[in-house]
Structure 1
Amino acid sequence: MSNSLSRLLAFLLLVSFLAAPSFAQEPALKPNFVVINIDDLGYADIEPFGSEINRTPNLNAMADEGMKLTCFYAAPVCSPSRAALMTGSYPKRSLTIPHVLFPANAEGLNPNEVTIAELMKEQGYATGIIGKWHLGDQPEFLPTKQGFDYYYGLPYSNDMGPAEDGVKSNYGAPLPKTKGKGQPPLPLMRNETVLQRVLAKDQTELVTNYTHEAIKFINAHQEEPFFLYLPHSAVHFPLYPGDAFRGKNEHGLYNDWVEEVDWSVGQVLKTLKDLGLDERTLVIFTSDNGGQTRFGAINKPLRAGKGTTYEGGMRVPTIVRWPGKVPAGSSSDEVVGMIDVLPTLVRLAGGKAPADRKIDGGDIGAILAGDKDAKSPHDVFYFYRGFDLEAVRSGPWKLRLKEGELYNLKEDISEAKNVAADHADVVERLQKIAAEMESDLGVKKIGPGCRPLGMAKNPEPLIGYDGTVREGFVPQK
């Protein structure tokens, strides 16, 4: 080979190396992914985000070793937020429901949706979900039909069941009687098998059991790339911290459960370190929506909480850790969210987001890599509550449509000072942006950009009101 040709080849190799994304991986060294999703955790419930009453040493360490995303948006409530995570799309686009899903609903995440788990499987990943699903409990909607190889957990929230089972009251409180027909018993599942009816004692063991199952999954798949989704039932009402944590925080059961969740995170991170998987594993810690202040959550300095489109309802505490890839002790205030997880992780896995449908999320890999010039993929972010578009954000400006209130979130994260009267031009611009969404997702009604909702025929509860497990979901003898 001539010297000139050798120099040319060397130059081309150098150019290709410099042009490659900073998170690029060789096929044999594909990264693992762990997404830990807490239920109803408040913005300031953990020390890295300002808690002064909860001890979260493991999350402190995770933040010290990774990046805090201080403007990470979820959705106001559970099911929509989880749909955004699974599909990379605004909830109204992929799960067009007014609120959340309930036991034995005919509706669910359409099996035609392409989930992050399905895209990971295409790249050779083992996929598992351990915890709360909440995207439909009928057979065609379960995780094992949506790209997950393994499932252990609850199909919906831990408060959805008959009152006498303890699902409507906190630990130690008298068990009320169910009024009327109520809800069917709450099932604990493994794959497509109902293991048991969940009672009060079982609720105290959820965090421990989820954690042990997660560790088993990591151990079982340490020799291959894996995607583990760990959506805890904690810290959703009813509050059931485990025996080892209950009563340890002087502020009550909610705070005990926050600290147990921190323990769980520590166990997962320790397992990754012990197995030598640390530098090959990206871990995301987040919450599905803002905290419920009436149960003890703290969202300060944000306004309001779960169920609203104020910052306290949708901006959630998020930490990303990947040693050697995500800069230690870093922070980003760029606008990102649940919808960005799919396009980001799938690209890191070597795949691509679906091209046959609209994906609202964007690849935030450059932000996570610490690129100071990296910007949010969202020129505009839309705040939906059910079918209604309640607010829009562009840059620092957030306009609440019904109220006509304008906030500069860069200067006023608490949404305390309405500056609409001083910025009529900004109000007009954001109103126009919001109106344009009528031709896509719709502003109040279901728009043409909303994809079909999954619908099951003859829906039945997994455990009947008489305690009988639905046919086909009973363990095989």
Structure 2
Amino acid sequence: MLTISLNAQINQPNIVLILADDLGFECVTANGGTSYHTPNIDLLANKGARFENCHSQPVCTPSRVQLMTGQYNVRNYTVFGELDRSQISFGNLFKNAGYKTAIAGKWQLGEEKDSPQHFGFEESCLWQQSYSRKDTAGHDTRFSNPILEFNGEVKHFNNGEYGPDIVSDFICDFIEQNKDQPFFAYYPMILSHCPFVPTPDSKDWDSQNLGSLTYKGEPKYFPDMISYMDKLVGKIVSKIEALGISENTLIIFAGDNGTDKPIISMFKGTDYPGGKGKTTDNGTHVPLIARWDGKIEKNRTCSDLIDFSDFLPTMCDAANIDISSQTTIDGVSFLPQLLGKKGKPRKWIYSWYDPRGKELKEFARNTKYKLYSTGEFYNIKEDFFEKTPLALVTMNRDAKQSYNKLIKALDKYKNIREEKANTKRGKN
């Protein structure tokens, strides 16, 4: 066992946050998946801590807004593809604390030329910032011969380059250039989002291909994309190891939401359909793994509930950044759990989910039960796809106790959206 005092940490460790796109919990071998090869992610878990109950929002923008601000969407979500510029992100907090900051990968949070810099990232290499996901001929622009933006400047690649290679190189270069000072590198990966297409390691990779003309591509390439995503995780970790900064670098890896719907994976001996966009567990249950040599005990597993509002306070806690007076935070730091302490495990998590303003899904849940604001109450351990709501009159004691606790959780956020809207109208 590692015996580490929370007060004995290095004051400003480096932070590397890797966020895979559309990667559910079931895709990682260390979690019990058997459809794909993820040796580098598995090794990360073997040398660090693996969390079994981390939950995101069901799609990308809601997840990223929650992740970057530490707040539930009920407070600050506006529209799909945007992060409200009035918000304070973890990039702002780390930059203001003296960290060098960079982001590389997928943006999709605002088309302004200065969007990443506005949110605290001094350097950026991004896909889908101001430029569309498709070129004028309808080709997808993220993978083969991509179109990316470097610090707001658009660059077209046409010599067989692969987008995920370029952005991972950018992260590696940033890490090397700043190895002697505290840095925060946020790597929201382009993989493994559709279109499902060959990677440079696929047998039928075509370096002349200008990008998929269909949104989904072909699901048969999903395993290749998972393997390449895993390879790039290994690339980042290897760079940190080669520079000799593993003991001063907290690496966090997670998926941003459930796997896409066409994909069916094998998980613990059974078929597991992708649930991206759904509020069932296959839409929100994502991998979470962290490594910090000498600080996090190797091969540790934690079953505590974690949600995406918890990442910001956890990273700031690790970096000794005081956020108490800077912004409202819904998240709870899980740094103590990373360091082998009990911490303050969540009793429940909350979700306000309405990505395109068409159908609100609001719920509170624990590891066994889920209660929607509309009244549906499920035992999600026994009813994974939430087909049969529990009736109050037939609930056992355990279910009733959870129901009452989750009612209180929902009540806590009941009027926040309306109150914020009224405040905004009052200012206008």
- Whether these two folds match at TM > 0.5 is yes
**Of 350-359 and 72-81, the range deviating more from structure 2:** 350-359
Q: Does 1:392 align with 2:384?
A: no
After TM superposition, give the deviation of residue 449 of structure 1 in Å.
Answer: 7.8
Counterpart amino acid of residue 10 in structure 2: Q
Q: Paired residue for 1:160?
A: 133
SS of aligned partner of 2:262? helix
Q: Paired residue for 2:65?
A: 83
Q: Paired residue for 1:36?
A: 18
Alpha carbons 1:158, 1:237 under 8 Å: kept:
no
After TM superposition, give the deviation of residue 54 of structure 1 in Å.
Answer: 1.0
Q: Paired residue for 1:330?
A: 300
Alpha carbons 2:369, 2:377 under 8 Å: kept:
no
Counterpart amino acid of residue 147 in structure 1: G
After TM superposition, give the deviation of residue 68 of structure 1 in Å.
Answer: 0.9
Q: Paired residue for 2:170?
A: 213
State the Cα deviation string for residues 381-425 of structure 1 (Å, max 9, x = none).
11222162432114632223446132154x766657754432473
Distance 1:76 1:158, change over 3 A: farther
Q: Does 1:257 align with 2:225?
A: yes
* Alpha-carbon distance in structure 2 between the residues aligned to 1:447 and 1:205: 46
Unaligned 5+ runs, structure 2: 206-217
Q: Does 1:375 align with 2:344?
A: yes
SS of aligned partner of 1:328? coil
Specify the structure having the higher radius of gyration (Cα): 1
Distance 1:449 1:289, change over 3 A: farther
Q: Paired residue for 2:213?
A: none
Alpha carbons 1:157, 1:233 under 8 Å: kept:
no
Counterpart amino acid of residue 269 in structure 1: V
Q: What is the RMSD of the two structures over their aligned residues, measured on CA atoms? A: 3.3
Alpha carbons 2:52, 2:303 under 8 Å: kept:
yes
After TM superposition, give the deviation of residue 20 of structure 1 in Å.
Answer: 5.2
Provide the TM-score with structure 1 as the length reference: 0.75
Distance 1:121 1:79, change over 3 A: same
After TM superposition, give the deviation of residue 226 of structure 1 in Å.
Answer: 0.7
Q: Paired residue for 1:131?
A: 105
Structure 1 residues 210-249: aligned runs within 5 Å = 210-245=167-202
After TM superposition, give the deviation of residue 40 of structure 1 in Å.
Answer: 0.6
Alpha carbons 1:39, 1:234 under 8 Å: kept:
yes
Structure 1 residues 248-327: aligned runs within 5 Å = 252-295=220-263, 305-327=275-297
Distance 1:354 1:160, change over 3 A: farther
State the Cα deviation string for residues 62-106 of structure 1 (Å, max 9, x = none).
111111111111111111111112111112322233xx22xxxxx
SS of aligned partner of 2:149? strand
SS of aligned partner of 1:243? coil
* Alpha-carbon distance in structure 1 between the residues aligned to 2:128 and 2:423: 23
SS of aligned partner of 1:293? coil
Q: Paired residue for 1:143?
A: 116
Aligned counterpart in structure 2 of residue 193 of structure 1, from 146, 153, 168: 153
Distance 1:21 1:308, change over 3 A: same
* Alpha-carbon distance in structure 2 between the residues aligned to 1:428 and 1:302: 31
Alpha carbons 1:37, 1:285 under 8 Å: kept:
yes
State the Cα deviation string for residues 185-215 of structure 1 (Å, max 9, x = none).
x84100021112x78x87x701211221111
Q: Does 1:111 align with 2:85?
A: yes
Q: Does 1:25 align with 2:10?
A: yes
SS of aligned partner of 2:22? coil
Alpha carbons 1:302, 1:414 under 8 Å: kept:
no
State the Cα deviation string for residues 104-156 of structure 1 (Å, max 9, x = none).
xxxx323332111111112221100010112111235x101110010002135
After TM superposition, give the deviation of residue 365 of structure 1 in Å.
Answer: 0.7
Alpha carbons 1:65, 1:328 under 8 Å: kept:
yes
Alpha carbons 2:19, 2:255 under 8 Å: kept:
yes
* Alpha-carbon distance in structure 1 between the residues aligned to 2:307 and 2:380: 19
Alpha carbons 2:53, 2:304 under 8 Å: kept:
yes
Q: Does 1:339 align with 2:309?
A: yes
Distance 1:23 1:72, change over 3 A: farther
Unaligned 5+ runs, structure 1: 1-17, 102-107, 172-185, 454-477
SS of aligned partner of 2:414? helix
* Alpha-carbon distance in structure 1 between the residues aligned to 2:4 and 2:46: 29
Distance 1:234 1:450, change over 3 A: farther
SS of aligned partner of 1:252? helix
State the Cα deviation string for residues 211-240 of structure 1 (Å, max 9, x = none).
211111111111111100111111111123
* Alpha-carbon distance in structure 2 between the residues aligned to 1:326 and 1:309: 31
After TM superposition, give the deviation of residue 432 of structure 1 in Å.
Answer: 5.0
Alpha carbons 1:94, 1:451 under 8 Å: kept:
no
Counterpart amino acid of residue 122 in structure 2: D
* Alpha-carbon distance in structure 1 between the residues aligned to 2:291 and 2:350: 27
